[in-house]
Amino acid sequence: MTHFCNDPKILSLFFKKFHFQKDQKSLEEYFDPEEYSNAFYFPIVIALQKKFRVKSVEIPFSYPKLQKMNETIGAKEFFVEKRQNQRIATLLHLMYLLSYLQKKTALVNY
């Protein structure tokens, strides 16, 4: 059986919030860690760094038909660019998080 550990030290990983330091603040205009990284990516990386056991869980998902049509037929170019920017932001956030964890950082935990 797969479950999330209801342990305060595990749960605390999902409540940490990071933002860019003052000299990097202009990056948040384009790449805000609050959009995805603080909730989805950073807790996993930090858990791995702390040697916690991390498991993959498959979640059955399918796009709602209207959303899929909108992204593939309607405003396709807009959504291709949006997804590309999301990938770039995720990689940038992870790069800064790794720098933070190595104490060479542009991120601040608040």
Question: pLDDT per residue over 8-47, tens digit each?
Answer: 888 888 888 887 776 665 666 666 777 778 888 888 899 9
Residue 27 is predicted with a pLDDT of 67
Residue 62 is predicted with a pLDDT of 85
CA dist 70 and 68 (Å) reads: 5
Residue spans per domain, the chain: 8-55+64-109
CA distances from 92 to 18, 29, 41, 83 (A): 13, 13, 12, 14
Dump pLDDT digits (tens) for 79-91: 888 889 888 888 8
> Count H helices, E strands: the chain?
5, 2
Residue 30 is predicted with a pLDDT of 62
Query: 0.85 exceeded by the pTM?
Result: no
